[in-house]
Amino acid sequence: MELEPVASDFLESLTKVSRRVRTAFNQQVTAHGLTYPRARALFRLAKKQNMTQTELALELELEQATLVRLLDRMEENGLIERRSDPSDRRAKLIGLTEHGEEQAAFVRSLADKIREQIFEGIDLVELHGAVGLLEKIAANIADLEDVNVTG
């Protein structure tokens, strides 16, 4: 069997599904007065409190300037607070406020409902296999990136 048409179809499907997942999540959070970037930041900060701005920028794949604007708005809305990092005075640690924790819990419940709908009727064995396949593809991409950087 030839790889090319199947690989192209797979990557096209992966791109479409990824876009549709983001769109579905975005529609749900915006219907409740949040923005997609803000919801993602809340979700990440709920998983790991007291991240530095640099760590959060990497997690969210945002440039520093974009993240700073996002955090400024989140701070104005009482969702986060910035504290000095005791180990590096130049760095700021970002933590959720009580209101931010409530909003993060809400985002988490929305995400759980969306996941239930997305994976309805899908066999767990198939899902585990798909995760393994995507991890292998990610490793191949990482190898490709390493060759491009060092080569």
34 with 73, same domain?
Answer: yes
Q: For the ranges 12-16, 45-49, 147-151, which has the lowest average pLDDT?
A: 147-151
Q: Are 62 and 81 part of one and the same domain?
A: yes
Could you list the residue range(s) of the whole structural domain that residue 133 is in? Answer: 123-150
Claim to verify: residue 113 and residue 144 sit in the same structural domain: no
Read off the pLDDT of each residue in 70-97 and give the average, rounded to a whole number: 92
State whether 87 and 116 are in the same domain. yes
- Give the count of domains, the chain: 2
Q: Kindly state the greatest CA–CA separation across the chain.
A: 58
My answer on whether 115 and 137 are in the same domain is no
102 in the same domain as 141:
no
- Residues 80, 38, single domain; the answer is yes
Q: How confident is the model at residue 2 (pLDDT cuts 50, 70, 90)?
A: confident
In the chain, the percentage of residues whose pLDDT exceeds 90 is 74
pLDDT of 71 strictly over 80: yes
Measuring CA to CA, which residue among 98, 94, 99, 116 is closest to residue 28?
116
In this structure, the answer to whether residues 138 and 77 fall within a common structural domain is no
> Is 71:53 a contact under the CB 8 Å cutoff?
yes
pLDDT in the model for residue 150: 60
* 143, 116: one domain: no
Q: Are 96 and 52 within one domain?
A: yes
Give the pLDDT score at 1.
63
CATH of the domain at 6: 1.10.10.10
> Rounded to a whole number, what is the distance in angstroms from the first to the last CA of the chain?
31
